[in-house]
Structure 1
Amino acid sequence: MASLPLSPAHLMTLGMFIFGMDTIPYQDLQRRMSWRHEESERFGMRAASQFAGPGDDAITIAALVVPEVAGSYGAIDRLVEMAATGDNWPLVDGLGRVLGQYRIDAIDLGHVGIMAGGLPRGQNFTMELKRVDG
């Protein structure tokens, strides 16, 4: 079994998009996993519950893209194009572990350090992913 060469500059991949120092070096990754428990009300007692399986699995990635230092605005454009397809993408961490199939639900952008001509020196970037496989 062949393995991917590990590089400190390779943080994660979403489909064929590689998060890294030359694309989007994210600063923060938050993952929220939940499990479903269905409940039935009972008279005079607490509700009865039954485990019903996995619930949502969502990841939020936050970054500050400053092309003079690290990252590129073109990389943000690639992720916007990926989101616009509505497709699901395999998410693989920097150690090669497959986290599952995710879709891009939202991308938030903010301009920081506005220069002459209205150009931003950097962009705050936040992306929300939601797991879609079992």
Structure 2
Amino acid sequence: MLMVLGLFVFERRTLPYQSMQYSKDYRWASNDRIGKPPAYQYLGEGETTRTLSGVLYPEITGGRLSLTAIELMADEGRAWPLIDGTGMIHGMYVIDKVTHTHTELFSDGAARKIEFSLSLKRVDKSLAAMYGDLKTQADNLVTSAGDWLGGLAG
């Protein structure tokens, strides 16, 4: 397994990307001053993006079905957790853009080669914000379980 986005697993049979580009912006405001160069003020982190790129050979790797699954996830308009193969959690990401180019076609129009690119944009503030207050979540689970068990008994 290379990486997981939500429930979609990136591996050789699905979308085995060959490269991942990481980009993180930092925001600076410029304040013009008379007779001096502008003064800059740090405003904080900007956008974090990841772009996964690769080539699919549908006879060997994933193909159109895997790309369709990613597009359906994007159509849902929600953020998904991104976790790499080592177990590192990178945060919550939305699918910003999916592109693919089909070449070397069979006589029926099916592609022998599909080049793809998948752009992801981070949308959570931090891992702490993503998971929230774990004690509150645990208390809510205990309450829900108690209500459910009470419903079974009653």
Q: How high is the TM-score relative to the length of structure 2?
A: 0.78
Matched ranges for 1:41-60 at <5 A: 41-60=32-51
Runs of 4+ in 1 over 4 A off after TM superposition: none
TM-superposition CA deviations, 1:16-50 (whole Å, max 9, x none): 11100111100111011111111111111111111
TM-superposition CA deviations, 1:88-129 (whole Å, max 9, x none): 011111111111111011100110111111111121111111
Matched ranges for 1:10-21 at <5 A: 10-21=1-12
Q: Of the two structures, which has the highest relative contact order with CA contacts closer than 8 Å and spacing of 6 or more?
A: 1
**How many angstroms apart in 2 are the aligned matches of 1:67 and 1:114?**
11
Fraction of identical pairs, as percent: 35
Q: How many residues align?
A: 125
Whose radius of gyration is greater, 1 or 2?
2
More helix per residue = 2
Matched ranges for 1:44-123 at <5 A: 44-123=35-114
Q: Which runs of 5+ in 2 are unaligned?
A: 126-154
Task: Please give the root-mean-square deviation of Cα atoms over the aligned residues, in Å.
Answer: 1.0
More strand per residue = 1
**How many angstroms apart in 1 are the aligned matches of 2:89 and 2:35?**
46
**How many angstroms apart in 1 are the aligned matches of 2:24 and 2:105?**
37
SS in 1 for 2:14: coil
Q: How high is the TM-score relative to the length of structure 1?
A: 0.89
